[in-house]
Structure 1
Amino acid sequence: MGEDQAAETRAVAGWVLDQILVMLHPFMPFITEELWHAQGTRPYELILAKWPQPEASVDAKAKAEINWLIELVSGIRTARTELNVPPGARLPLYVVTSDEIFARMERNAAALSRLARVEKGADGVIPTVSLQVVVEDATYFLPVEGVIDIAVEKARLAKALEASEKEAKSLEGRLKNPAFVERAKPEAVDKARGDHAHHAAEAERLRAALARLG
């Protein structure tokens, strides 16, 4: 590191320390004031220092890309968990979409590999037996043939779906019964409503999981 770089590094470090002291001062007034003056001669007390003002404007394109990445990683993780895909399994990721999305995938390949355990699939026909994850206007495909037992997973999900639908229907019938709603304790009615919402949402999740398998 040259002398100019070293001087710049020291200046930036000093500026950063000052900003930290300024922002900590309302919570730790005495120690920060002491440290403020220990760094050298100051023209004013720390309590009079102005808070740092953000100068950078929001990059709408970068924000949209981060939101896309978060949604895609969350969707892939959810799909993998729902279908019991082994945590260590790396799946190829296929998508038919615009050049812009392909460019996003290239820029975020390392993050997708690390956070979702996927890799860019080879060009060609998308495998038939695949998980499907929809983000914005694109559908992403993750082949699972040979990774999980499709028949077993379909049977497991179908059984769980049947149980959730049965429970949701039972609770719906109870809530439609005026005798129950009017005579039961309010907390019992609230619990039934909460349980119904839970089982209805669970049934919807399981239907989506089954749909992922085609």
Structure 2
Amino acid sequence: MLISGFDILFFWDARMMMQGLHFMKDVPFRTLYLHGLVRAADGSKMSKSKGNTVDPLGLIDQYGADALRFFMAAMESQGRDIKMDEKRVEGYRNFATKLWNAARFCQSNGIVASTTLEAPKADLAVNRWIIAETIQAVQAVDLALADYRFDGAANAIYQFGWSRFCDWYIELIKPVLGQMDAPATGPEADETRAVAGWVLDQLLVLLHPFMPFITEELWSKMGPRDHDLIVAKWPMADARAIDPEAAKEVDWLIRLVSEVRAARNELGVSPGVRMPVHVRDAGPDTQGRLARQSAAIARLARVDLTEGDGPAGGAVQVVVDEATFVLPLEGVIDLDAERARLTKAIAAAEKERDALAGRLGNASFVERAKPEAVEKARADHADKAAEAERLGAALSRLG
């Protein structure tokens, strides 16, 4: 039997490895993680001959090492290859910028490094809500990492950091903190600063394995510390800090503001225009929330709560839970012109939706076209169907 040099080398390496294992009396790896291939944006394998390779150093120069690192983790779904999409890398660079600006806001408003691993005590609903959101984010990240779902962990951090902390929480606490030239004082302001500092610290620790450079920089800039971020204790997922009632109230507030903003945007109402809003069929819980959150609703949705049911027509209606919120449009927009615009936009969206449906219903196209072309057609069809439905809802709201 002929034995090649490769066979001899392999036999020698295997023998030496077994001797090493016998000496250590243990195996070198108990868990092996196999990740997918990194492919070009169109799904094809990267090849120098095709000219579709990507220079990682070039991406780092353009978007930063943190953004590229986060992209690789967020896209790493088990059993799936990664498509190298620079737009996604750019999106995670924007996430880093968003976090940086949120930290600067905290610095400017007297929010500093936290001194406790446990959540501070809180009475305000918005603070109890963000503490619960933080605990739930920690739980989601812990579960994902335990299951080696790095994409799940990265996306849980992204959603919590961008939407919950940077967007909603920062906006909701601005009135409590006052203005930079006249910062608010008192128990509510002190509580909010303590909670915001604690939440930011938890976010930086969670994000550090994915974005080590920006998180370490922010950690060092938020106040004096006795240790670096890399050796900070991992957050505790203490479910006792979750307050269901506060979560329900602030989630209701977010849904109401989001629905009103979406309705205004669909109908072309200028963001600077303040509008009256009439409330119908509000139950006791909603009435209590309206009383407690009226200032936040007025500021975030650019509306003024007004007594009475409001007009039956010429208005946009937003339904949240059992209550209907009526925003009169007479004098705000040209109702006839807006109906005509929406009708035309609906017809265009439905035409494109039906054309894509016909293409997808053609067996020849589905079988012969490239998989990425079929996938794009399905995504476009879903987008047009959703657009037609959204515009139809906006038209029906006009009455």
Structure 1 residue 55 displacement after superposition: 8.6
Aligned residue in 2 for 1:36: 226
Q: 1:173 to 1:120 in 2, by over 3 A?
A: same
For the residues of structure 2 that align with 1:192 and 1:68, how far apart are their CA atoms? 36
Matched, 1:62 2:252: no
Structure 1 residue 102 displacement after superposition: 1.4
Aligned residue in 1 for 2:319: 134
State the AA in 2 paired with 1:162: A
Q: Encode CA deviations 1:3-44: one digit per residue, 9 max, x unaligned.
A: xxxxxxxxxxxx944769x9889987xx9xx9639xxxxxxx
Q: Which runs of 5+ in 2 are unaligned?
A: 1-112, 118-196
State the AA in 2 paired with 1:169: D
Alignment of 1:90-169 (within 5 A): 90-96=274-280, 97-122=282-307, 124-128=308-312, 129-169=314-354
Structure 2 residue matching 1:108: 3-state secondary structure: helix
For the residues of structure 2 that align with 1:178 and 1:159, how far apart are their CA atoms? 31
Q: Provide the identity percentage.
A: 49
Structure 1 residue 106 displacement after superposition: 1.2
For the residues of structure 1 that align with 2:324 and 2:232, how far apart are their CA atoms? 55
For the residues of structure 2 that align with 1:210 and 1:50, how far apart are their CA atoms? 50
Structure 1 residue 99 displacement after superposition: 2.5
Aligned residue in 2 for 1:11: none
Alignment of 1:65-80 (within 5 A): 65-80=249-264
For the residues of structure 2 that align with 1:183 and 1:50, how far apart are their CA atoms? 51
* Residues 132 and 142, structure 1, Cα contact 8 Å, conserved in 2: yes
Structure 1 residue 125 displacement after superposition: 3.9
- With the length of structure 2 as denominator, give the TM-score of the two structures: 0.42
Q: Encode CA deviations 1:48-106: one digit per residue, 9 max, x unaligned.
A: 98977859632211110000000000000000000011211111111121122112111
* Residues 18 and 36, structure 1, Cα contact 8 Å, conserved in 2: no
Q: 1:144 to 1:35 in 2, by over 3 A?
A: closer
Aligned residue in 2 for 1:212: 397
Structure 2 residue matching 1:141: 3-state secondary structure: strand
State the AA in 1 paired with 2:306: G
Q: Encode CA deviations 1:108-148: one digit per residue, 9 max, x unaligned.
A: 111111100011113x3421221111112221111111100
* Residues 130 and 145, structure 1, Cα contact 8 Å, conserved in 2: yes
For the residues of structure 2 that align with 1:153 and 1:213, how far apart are their CA atoms? 9
For the residues of structure 2 that align with 1:88 and 1:168, how far apart are their CA atoms? 34
Q: 1:179 to 1:98 in 2, by over 3 A?
A: same
For the residues of structure 2 that align with 1:190 and 1:51, how far apart are their CA atoms? 40
Structure 1 residue 188 displacement after superposition: 1.6
State the AA in 2 paired with 1:182: E
Structure 1 residue matching 2:241: 3-state secondary structure: coil
Calculate the aligned-residue CA RMSD, in Å.
3.3
State the AA in 2 paired with 1:175: L
Matched, 1:184 2:374: no
Aligned residue in 1 for 2:176: none
Matched, 1:172 2:357: yes
For the residues of structure 2 that align with 1:145 and 1:183, how far apart are their CA atoms? 53
For the residues of structure 1 that align with 2:245 and 2:116, how far apart are their CA atoms? 32
State the AA in 1 paired with 2:241: S
State the AA in 2 paired with 1:67: D
